[in-house]
Amino acid sequence: MKKNKTVFLDRDGVINRVHLKNGRPHPPLNLSELEILPGVAASLERLKKSGFKVIVVTNQPDVARGTIEKKVVEEINYYLSEKLKIDEFKVCYHDDSDVCNCRKPNPGALLEASNKYSIDLNSSYMVGDRWKDILAGQRAGCKTIFIQCNYDEIQPDFPTYTVNNLTEAVEIILGEKDGKNK
C-alpha cells in the first residue's frame, strides 16, 4: 500500500499572523483578529497539486487556561479550512501541566494522523515557528522546517531547514530552492 507524504503545519505564526506580547507569540482571540499571512494560500495550493496532504497541528492551551473559548478556536479553524487547502486540523486544547501526548513537543497528533492517513513520516515535513513544533516533528521522524520569527524564547535544536516564511518552506519541500540550513 502506498504511503502518503504530508506537510504538517503549525497554525499561529505559520498560517496566520500572531500577536506579539513581550516578544512572545499569541494566537488571535477571535475571527476579526485573524489575518492569513501573505503567500500562504498559494503555497498550500502548490503542496496539494504536488500530491501532499496538508494537516495543521496546533496547540491551543488558552482553552485550558480559560482565556479563549473552544468554539472560538473551532470558528477560526473552520474559516481557515474554508479559505485554504487544508485536509485536517489536529488541535490540542491542553496546557503543559496536563501532560498529554497530543501537545507538542510530543508527537502524538502527528502519529495519530500517520495511522489515520497511512502517512510516510520519513517523507513528510513538520513546519513551525517554535521549538515545540520542531521537536514534535523530530520525534515523529519527519524532516523539520523552522520559520524564524525571532521570538523572545528558546530556539529549536537542529531543524532540518530554517526559512523566513511558508513560501520559502514550500520551495524547499518541492525542490525548487536549495535546502541548505542557515
**Three-state secondary structure string covering the chain:** CCCECEEEECCECCCECCEEECCEEECCCCHHHCCECCCHHHHHHHHHHCCCEEEEEEECCHHHHCCCCHHHHHHHHHHHHHHCCCCEEEEECCCHHHCCCCCCCCCHHHHHHHHHHCECHHHCEEEECCHHHHHHHHHHCCEEEEECCCCCCCCCCCCCEEECCHHHHHHHHCCCCCCCCC
pLDDT of residue 2: 72
For residue 52, pLDDT over 60 is answered with: yes
- Residue-wise pLDDT tens digits, 63-85: 999 999 999 999 999 999 999 99
What type of residue is 123? S
| Beta bridge partners of residue 162, listed in sequence order | 146
Question: β-strand 24-26 against 19-21: which pairing, if any?
Answer: antiparallel
Instruction: Report the C-alpha gap between 163 and 161 in whole angstroms.
Output: 7
Q: Could you count the other beta carbons within 10 Å of the beta carbon of residue 164?
A: 11
Name the CATH superfamily housing domain 6-173. HAD superfamily/HAD-like (3.40.50.1000)
Model confidence at 31: pLDDT above 80: yes
Q: pLDDT tens digits for 12-23?
A: 999 999 999 999
Q: Has this prediction a pTM greater than 0.85? A: yes
Output the nine-digit C-alpha cell for 41. Answer: 494560500
> Catalytic residue positions?
10, 12
Cα(80)–Cα(66) distance, rounded to whole angstroms?
23
Cross-strand bridge partners of residue 89 = 56
> What mean pLDDT comes out for the span 88-110?
95
